[in-house]
């Protein structure tokens, strides 16, 4: 399974904020560090704020920061909330038109694999994945 860029960027934002502890960070700083479009990052930050993972402070001296300690942010939960779907094959989609679905066992194998994938992600927190070096 491959994560979408949206989820990748979401995790990168959270990791960056986790490295910078309780500092207020500008979106431009994160965009520059990862060489990511500011526009894309703005959408990601807005969504992470709506989900409650980050706080946003407007105005002079404003910025973004984590809303929770890194050890309280579960990676599996973040991935579930930022991925648009987990359709690993045609048979996972609502509009499934695969003629093999009634007799195919692949769907069950892929479903088990997806569950295992998410269970592994559930074992980790943001604290476990943030780099130890602080970007400046």
Is residue 95's pLDDT more than 90?
A: no
**What's the domain count of the chain?**
1
Look at residue 56 and tell me if it is in a domain: yes
Q: Where are the alpha helices (DSSP H) in 27-105?
A: 27-34, 38-51, 75-82
Look at residue 89 and tell me if it is in a domain: yes
Domain of 43, in residue numbers? 5-129
Look at residue 34 and tell me if it is in a domain: yes
Q: What's the Cα-to-Cα distance from 33 to each of 8, 80, 134, rounded to whole Å?
A: 14, 25, 11
Look at residue 136 and tell me if it is in a domain: no
Look at residue 102 and tell me if it is in a domain: yes
41: tokens are 């990052």
What is the mean pLDDT of the segment spanning 3-17? 95
Look at residue 22 and tell me if it is in a domain: yes
Give the CATH number of the domain where residue 111 resides. Answer: 1.10.10.10
Angle between helices 5-19 and 38-51 (to 10 degrees): 80
100: tokens are 């093999």
pLDDT tens for each residue of 26-69 = 999 999 999 999 999 999 999 999 999 999 998 888 899 999 99
């Amino acid at each position: 399974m491959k994560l979408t860029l949206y989820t990748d960027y979401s995790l990168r934002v959270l990791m960056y904020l986790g490295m910078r502890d309780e500092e207020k960070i500008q979106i431009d700083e994160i965009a520059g560090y990862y060489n990511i479009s500011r526009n894309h990052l703005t959408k990601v930050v807005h969504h992470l704020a709506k989900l409650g993972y980050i706080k946003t402070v407007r105005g002079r001296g404003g910025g973004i920061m984590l809303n929770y300690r890194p050890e309280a942010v579960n990676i599996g939960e973040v991935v579930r909330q930022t991925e648009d779907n987990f359709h690993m094959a045609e048979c996972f989609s609502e509009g499934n038109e695969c003629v093999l679905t009634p007799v195919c066992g692949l769907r069950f194998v892929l479903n088990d694999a997806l569950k295992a994938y998410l269970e592994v992600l559930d074992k980790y927190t943001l604290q476990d994945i943030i780099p130890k070096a602080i970007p400046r």
